[in-house]
Amino acid sequence: MSLPQTPSFRLEGKRALVTGASSGIGLAAAVALGEAGAHVVLVARGAVALEAVTAQMTAAGMSAQSLQLDITDIAATQAAVAAHGPFDVLVNSAGLARHSAAVETTPADYDAVTDLNVKAAYFLTRNVGRGLIEAGRGGSLINISSQMGHVGGIDRAVYCATKHALEGMTKSMAIEWGPKGIRVNTLCPTFIRTPLAEQTLAIPERRAWIESMIKLGRVGEIEDMMGPIVFLASDASALMTGTSLLIDGGWTAD
């Protein structure tokens, strides 16, 4: 009898595209994929922070390059993906939140959040998927969703709506592209200590409520996302598509 072999978590020879890569979960994704051997193209709107992260990764021996881009510019994003791809791995971590009571939601806030979290995510994923299909290659496309793609949240009607939409989009693309060897999944974190989350974590009563909901009793750190990202990007998750990997400390276990 021959013993089974654990599929590889390594990503040598793979090209990865990471959006929102200059901070937070996107930064963690870029470093995790770089450490696993992928060549990482880091995307963000701000050039200074993006170049600094890319330089640090390169100095640490990783293969990385920066690409300043606003993914809400659909035409520019399509051109950039075509020029730099095809990409074996996508981690779409660019996201926006503008929290308010539902009765106070403004059209401007609604449009800003949905334009990035849904429309830009849709066309970015479509463009990376199209590149793989044209190249006749499989790949792993990962959208950073949220536990709020599975539950509701106070003052988060718009944000929750966008993440629920992202879950549905991911499932549909996974069904379409599965026969072509392209996997599409979401990662769904709880509150992770990032610049985006600080607006909530800075309010003592909100932080106390959050920690009471997380069964492990603590807010997440960006390092908590790095292993799951490599898992979904690699052959270790080869039979996973159209699903969500919840990194929520037990929030949704109720």
Q: Residue 159 catalytic? A: yes
Which residues fall within 8 angstroms of residue 246, CB to CB, at 6 or more apart? 147, 150, 188, 252
Report the distance separating Cα 43 and Cα 120, nearest Å.
13
Measured in degrees and rounded to the nearest 5, phi and psi for residue 25 equal: -65, -35
Give, to the nearest 10 degrees, the angle between helix 24-35 and helix 47-59: 30
* Extended beta strands in the chain, E state: 15-19, 39-44, 63-68, 89-92, 139-144, 182-189, 244-247
Catalytic residue among 87, 159, 177, 231: 159
* Residue 96 neighbours by CB under 8 Å, 6+ apart: 112, 113, 116, 117, 196
Kindly state the tokens that stand for 160. Answer: 């929750």
Q: Please, what sign has the CA dihedral across residues 240, 118, 24, 56?
A: positive
Q: Are 125 and 90 in contact (CB under 8 A)?
A: yes
Q: Please give the positions annotated as active site.
A: 159
